[in-house]
Amino acid sequence: MDAFSRHVADRARQLLRGFRGNEADIEFLRRLGQEDAARLRAAWSKIERPLVPTRNDAYFEDSLRATVGLERQDSKVVTDFVFWAAERDRAAFVTTDRGLLRVVRTSLQSFLDSRYMPKPTADDFLEPDAFLSSLVR
């Protein structure tokens, strides 16, 4: 800047300061960016891991879609419901989709009965012939 007049050099310095900004402002913005990045990483770590893991059983989901007539996302929800509920008669299914609820109420139990053998209870072991005859339809 020595080759220019003092006025031009002073104006050039002002422009450079304007581009660079105040060093304290730059440091504040840098730290603010670091804190935001740390908050985002913490938030993503909470979001990425679901509270209850999903089943991800593609075969069962496809069976529900083909046999019961569910949509893709609905079959994922019903699959998770079936495998989370240890005792299906005591489990609750909450939804605002009446069509899905109607399908679950009417078709799901017959689909599950056709796919899986019921769990034997202690009474079934006392009378095994009755239990085995109930399996044959």
Tens-level pLDDT at each residue, the chain (137 residues): 456 677 788 887 787 777 766 777 777 778 888 998 998 888 888 776 666 667 788 888 888 888 888 888 888 888 887 777 766 556 566 677 777 777 777 887 778 777 766 666 777 677 777 767 776 65
Task: Indicate the DSSP class of residue 5.
Answer: -
| Rounded CA separation 86/117 (Å) | 14
* pTM for the full predicted model: 0.45
Widest pairwise Cα distance in the chain: 110
Domain limits, the chain: 6-48, 58-135
Cα 126–Cα 132–Cα 136 angle in degrees, nearest 5: 155
Contacts with 91 (C-beta within 8 Å, 6 or more apart), sequence order: 81, 84, 85
DSSP assignment letter at 119:
P
